[in-house]
Amino acid sequence: MNPALSVATVHPCRALSGVATFGARLAALPSSRFRAVPVLLSARAADADAFADTPAAITPINDDHAPPHERILALRDALAGFNVVVPCDSPEGFIAAAMLHHRGVRTLLWHHSSGHDGDDVLRRCAPLADAWTAVSAPLRAHVRSLGLCPAPEASTEPLPVCVGVRAEPPKGPPVARTLRLFYAGRLENAHKRVLDLVRLADALAARAVRFFLTIAGDGPARAQLARAFADRGHNGRVMFTGALPPYLLHEMYSAHDFTVLVSRNEGWPLVVAESLAGGRPVAITTGCGGAPDLVRREGCGVVANTGDMNALAAGLAPFAEDREGLARLNAAALHAARTTLCPGVLLPAYEAALFNASRAPARYGANSADNHAPLHVHWRRMLDALQAVPGADTATARALRDAWLADLPVTIAHDALPLESDPVPVEASIRLAHAAQSLRAAGAQRIALFGAGTHTRRLSRWLDRCGPFAAIIDERAGQDGAPDILMGLPVVHPSRLGSLRIDAVILSSDEHESAMIEAAASWRWRGPVVALYDTSLSLGARSSVSA
């Protein structure tokens, strides 16, 4: 029998998430072949709810404000006793594990994250992985299509997060005329498309379906979502609970008829898996990663194309009064979870993937004394990953380089390794360059960015490559605290678009595009307004009106 592996999963602990739940459940599995321990990058207990019942969890550093190099080196020391590290979506985890490669530590990229955030982790960190897998078939195919991960696959099948399955469905009322719907997740529109919940409510109301929608979670779109429900007259049909702890989420699944998720992109959404495991069907969109195939195959819910809320409402409507049909869906949900998502089914595949990763060959070793090239490549990959670490700079790279070289079994001159690397393109920069290029090809010469927030600041190093840009539009321009200049560009109010002779505007946001398009539609200016992520929102050319 193979000896037991020691496995670490790394978690930033920014908030309760499916990835955090994955780490906690991996640690709880009764395997004789591996022992998993979550390693937390935050000392804030409130951020670590998923690990409350995981006594073996490690927090390497208790100072959340420590410099990046101290955090990474503390993490490296905590990981030194493990065979396999699963960094999840933590760049610090990839770097710390890579610093231990010569000691036999291997890195398994277990990819959960969909959308541009997940792609950015891949672009910067995937080359450091020794093996990889993903939670769903669509996400697995996406990783392959990007061509960013040179390591071999650790599993021949996708490996979703396992869930405990009820013995039988919870009881529901024998007769009901109100369809009880439940949404749980972050309230944002870039990935989750939560504003589609309003359109779903409209479509149900148009069919005279009585429904009640409970919304659990929080996020940047909460106020806009609540306002939209009120404007459409749905106040008495919708309740917001805020974020809920895991034990209450499981009670909420049982208290509703369907769990609803209308996302644009997901890996394998945990709320869908937990709802099925609790004996409740789901109403989801095709953007929900690996879930739609299972739901269609097992007949345990309703699936509609992303954005098609009429189709989703049509699939839900019959079950407001068909309790026998709903009972059949409940049983199908349990069967689907029991045969595909429970620990007994997934544990052997987990074990195989972890052992495959542990056997990955060394990238460099004692023979590197005569050939330093593999070491140089490895270091440059660490530098690329370092670009994803907030606050990291040349001093961070120097501290990590010196610590890594001091631990290597070979001697290399410190000045032989650079402290900076070329910027790795991120999804936002790729989309910005494409949008700007398309607008210029259509004749636009003076292009402005709308948005002076975090997204625009993240693009600072790319503006010269994607530009030139004429200005940054901010509806708060001129108010106290609003900047006049940002990244060398004037920050101006939309009323100045005409006087600045702006030809086109690009939205610089990934979470607020819908609200920003609504704002842009009210401007006294006519010209194309282009969204980077949800391009269906983009406004076409309009005849000119002087501002």
Which CATH number do you get for residue 449?
3.40.50.720
Same domain, 353 and 276: no
Contacting residues for 481 by C-beta, under 8 A, at least 6 apart: none
In a domain, residue 193? The reply is yes
pLDDT at 47: 55
Helix (H, G, I), strand (E, B) or coil at 14: coil
In a domain, residue 173? The reply is no
pLDDT at 535: 84
Cβ atoms < 10 Å from Cβ of 455: 18
Same domain, 33 and 109: yes
Same domain, 376 and 330: no
Please give the tally of structural domains in the chain: 3
Distance between the two ends of the chain, CA-based, in angstroms? 76
For residue 242, what are the domain limits?
179-341
Place of tokens 């610590």: 403
Contacting residues for 373 by C-beta, under 8 A, at least 6 apart: none
In a domain, residue 402? The reply is yes
In a domain, residue 116? The reply is yes
Same domain, 412 and 284: no
Helix H or strand E segment including 397: helix 394-407
**How far apart are alpha carbons 378 and 363 in whole angstroms?**
8
Same domain, 268 and 399: no
pLDDT at 547: 30
Q: Which long-range contacts (CB under 8 A, 24 or more apart) does 377-381 make?
A: 378/98, 378/101, 378/128, 379/404, 379/417, 379/418, 380/418, 380/421, 381/98, 381/127, 381/128
Same domain, 403 and 459: no
pLDDT at 255: 93
Same domain, 25 and 111: yes
Same domain, 385 and 515: no
In a domain, residue 14? The reply is yes
> Which of these three, 416, 449, 469, is where a domain ends?
416
Helix H or strand E segment including 346: helix 343-358
Dihedral sign for Cα atoms in the order 24, 28, 31, 34? positive
Low-confidence ranges of the chain (pLDDT < 70): 1-3, 14-16, 43-49, 173-175, 365-371, 541-547
| DSSP letters spanning 231-280 | HTT-GGGEEEEE---HHHHHHHHHTSSEEEE--S--SS-HHHHHHHHTT-
pLDDT at 277: 96
**How far apart are alpha carbons 388 and 124 in whole angstroms?**
7
Same domain, 10 and 144: yes
Same domain, 204 and 332: yes
For the domain that residue 17 is a member of, what is the CATH number? Answer: 3.40.50.2000
pLDDT at 543: 34
What pTM, to 2 d.p., does this model score? 0.90
pLDDT at 176: 72
CB 93 within 8 A of CB 85: yes
**How far apart are alpha carbons 302 and 95 in whole angstroms?**
42
**How far apart are alpha carbons 300 and 259 in whole angstroms?**
11
Helix H or strand E segment including 205: helix 196-206
Same domain, 436 and 406: no
Report H helices in 10-109. Answer: 18-28, 68-79, 91-98
Same domain, 187 and 242: yes
In a domain, residue 184? The reply is yes
In a domain, residue 169? The reply is no
> Which of these three, 341, 366, 387, is where a domain ends?
341
In a domain, residue 172? The reply is no
Report H helices in 2-67. Answer: 18-28
> Which of these three, 397, 416, 435, is where a domain ends?
416
pLDDT at 380: 95
**How far apart are alpha carbons 324 and 144 in whole angstroms?**
43
**How far apart are alpha carbons 264 and 272 in whole angstroms?**
15
Burial grade of 482 (CB within 10 A; 0-12, 13-18, 19 or more)? middle
| Interval 409-420: pLDDT, tens | 888 888 889 999
pLDDT at 312: 98
